[in-house]
Amino acid sequence: MPPPSATEPRAGDEAKANTVAPHEPGLNQKEGKMSMLNFPKPPKFDDAYKERAYLKGRLAAAFRIFGKYGFDEGVAGHITLRDPVDPTTFWVNPFGIAFSLMKASDLILVDAKGQVIGGGACRLLNTAAYMIHHAVHSARPDVIAAAHSHSIYGRTFCALGRKLDTITQDSCAFHNDHVLYESFKGVVLAEEEGNNIARALGDKKAALLQNHGLLTVGQSVEEAVFWFVSLEKCCQAQLMADAAAGGRGGETQKIAEEDAVYTHSTVGSTLAGWFSAKPMFDVVHKETNGDYLE
């Protein structure tokens, strides 16, 4: 017998309709909740060293994704991973190694004082990477990974000195969940500037660094990477939409607050970020034959 539709009267409650939309046509609310129990989730580990090995592989894959999407600009850009063995330290890319060639064995381990204490043969540390990411990881115990790069649409939009408008379903993921950091004092080489960025970020998932670029964070490498990729595309979409609307003497249509908040709860969650990134990681693994794991 097929499940009841969203508007079929329930036994003993014929006068009321089920106004909660199902996840899929023909799927009622109860069955929808049950199906969520089987939704994929990040792997769990009972050994921190095994978790470290796995996460270093994911971080190396993240750099391959950044390279594939053209988020490299010379030696600029960095993604960090909080170390599960010693959470006061983090893994990051060595300065000057191409994103598209990154391997797990290349990554370097940095302590709270900015000293490289482990990792690959090239142990050059980007000072800006330490100043920004150390501050963010220290201020946000929930942040496992943080990503920053000088992507073309992100840095272009960041020159406007404004936050993103909620004009698409994808931009709802950042609705009331990103900030504008309005200060620019050159390359972040001072501890104070890193702390100011972390303070401005607060509990949000992303920051638009004015005259600089994008910064995203997540409770997994995958989440941080997906928010960066998505935010970059949202910046591109708004730049195009604003230009088109302006050319017609109008303005873009904004999503209503209630609808934006509701959509954010669906597309902007931690699990949504992790799961949305999975296809990108799968493709990179296939395309590279997994050589980033070396």
- Number of domains forming the structure of the chain: 1
Task: Identify the pLDDT of residue 13.
Answer: 42
Q: Which has the higher per-residue pLDDT, 11 or 82?
A: 82
What's the rounded mean pLDDT across residues 153-158? Answer: 98
Task: Identify the pLDDT of residue 25.
Answer: 52
- Its domain, for residue 168, covers 48-293
Task: Identify the pLDDT of residue 5.
Answer: 39
Task: Identify the pLDDT of residue 185.
Answer: 73
pLDDT tens digits for range 10-53: 444 444 444 444 444 555 666 655 555 577 889 999 999 999 99
| Class of residue 95 by CB neighbours under 10 A (exposed 0-12, middle 13-18, buried 19+) | middle
Is position 84 within any domain? yes
pLDDT tens digits for range 192-211: 889 999 999 999 999 999 99
Task: Identify the pLDDT of residue 27.
Answer: 55
| Class of residue 243 by CB neighbours under 10 A (exposed 0-12, middle 13-18, buried 19+) | exposed
The CATH number covering residue 136 comes to 3.40.225.10
| Res. 9 pLDDT band, cuts 50 70 90 | very low
Residue 8 clears pLDDT 80, i.e. is over it? no
User: pTM for this one?
Assistant: 0.86
Task: Identify the pLDDT of residue 184.
Answer: 78
Is position 180 within any domain? yes
Is position 42 within any domain? no
**What's the CA angle centered on 223, arms 199 and 35, to 5 degrees?**
130
Is position 175 within any domain? yes
What's the rounded mean pLDDT across residues 186-197? Answer: 80
Is position 80 within any domain? yes
Q: Which has the higher per-residue pLDDT, 294 or 26?
A: 294
Is position 10 within any domain? no
What's the rounded mean pLDDT across residues 55-66? Answer: 98
Is position 130 within any domain? yes
Is position 219 within any domain? yes
Short-list 132, 128, 115, CA closest to 75: 128
Task: Identify the pLDDT of residue 189.
Answer: 66
Short-list 65, 28, 69, CA closest to 233: 69
Q: How far is Cα 219 from Cα 278, in angstroms, rounded to an integer?
A: 14
The neighbour count for residue 179, using CB atoms within 10 Å, is 20
Short-list 237, 171, 175, CA closest to 204: 175
Short-list 279, 132, 156, CA closest to 217: 132
